[in-house]
Structure 1
Amino acid sequence: MIIDGPDNADPLRQPVTGLPGDSFLMETKPHFRADTDQSGDWWVWRRLSVNGWATHCRCGDREEAREMAAQLNRSSTDVA
């Protein structure tokens, strides 16, 4: 269940409820992901919005893309 209100202003941070008592936790969506484009090339994609993604960096293979996306996601959560 998603709560509407000031805590829900950032579309990448969605409140999750349904826990015992009045507590809730924030689910943070990843800012980067590894995936292919229509040509089959591996890229790291950067989140623009809830549904929007843009290419960030082209990679040589799947493993390189996955490692880079994971590293970028760790870096982006360290700042927050």
Structure 2
Amino acid sequence: MQQKSQKKAELLDNEKPAAVVAPITTGYTVKISNYGWDQSDKFVKIYITLTGIHQIPTENVRVHFTERSFDLLVRNLNGKISFFRQPL
């Protein structure tokens, strides 16, 4: 039993911490409503244009997928937090 606990502790020590994103002190939330998509029987492609996206760190862009939807969160893009939620 003690070996299991020790191995579990070693695994936790070897895990990398999640990326830390600097908090935003000013700004406001913008819902992304201008987008396009293309779909086939197997795939869905989402097209979103965000001016200046190439100027922020990649860790400021978060996407979470589920079986039937996805969320996109972009932090600190031109002083804003941009959010997009789409059921598929």
TM-score by length of structure 2 reads: 0.18
Which one has the bigger strand percentage?
2
Structure with the larger RCO, 1 or 2 (CA within 8 Å, 6+ apart): 2
Higher-Rg structure is 2
TM-score, reference length from structure 1 = 0.19
**Structure in which a larger fraction of residues adopt helix:** 1
